[in-house]
Amino acid sequence: MANSSSVLSRLLAKLVDYQHVCIIILCVFLISSSGWILMGRGLRNSASIWDYLHVYLGLVTAGLSVSMLITHCVRGQWRQMFPWLLADFSQLSKDLSGLVKGRIPVAGGRGLFSCIEGMGILLLVGVGFSGVIWFFLQGSTDALVWRGYHILLVKGFIGFILIHVFCACLHLVDFIRN
């Protein structure tokens, strides 16, 4: 029994190590294939493989998004990614005023980059949550409402991805400069 628990703990540790990469791969697939699916209130009787892949890989991604949120909160990073929960805007305001002066914000801490990451995790959890609710409400009129929420949150998440990539590029520029 002890051996199986150590195997499980090692497996969970690997999942935590690779969850960011898994989420990236799954999100790229889900976003790029979303134009090929035809779903309103739910899966059609004649649903394509793309519909099924989107739904079931989306459910996996929703689970991973919650896992990522929990991982970041348990490791204490919630203070960095959500400093507004502590009413701490000091580094964020420094980063924003520095940005106006042409300075790249500092990576890490409770600044702009960390807040953007926190908003991204919340958006991803929102996308997953709305997709899961839409899945369970299939066939009902409420399913269309949750479909609307899902699409809106996906658009916000795509905006986050673009900002996140831009920030990563700024971080690399700063790293190369130093």
CB 116 within 8 A of CB 167: yes
In tens, the pLDDT along 4-48 reads: 778 878 887 787 789 999 999 999 999 998 888 778 777 888 888
Name, in order, each residue with C-beta under 8 angstroms of 167's C-beta and a sequence gap of 6 or more. 112, 113, 116
Please state, in angstroms and rounded to a whole number, the distance separating the CA atoms of residues 7 and 28. 30
What's the farthest any 2 CA atoms get from each other in the chain?
A: 59
The domain segmentation of the chain, as residue ranges, is: 14-177
In tens, the pLDDT along 150-168 reads: 999 999 999 999 999 998 8
Predicted structure pTM score: 0.87
pLDDT recorded at residue 2: 55
Q: Cα 44 to chain center, whole Å?
A: 28
Average of per-residue pLDDT across 65-90: 89
Which of 37-51, 53-67, 81-95 tops mean pLDDT? Answer: 53-67
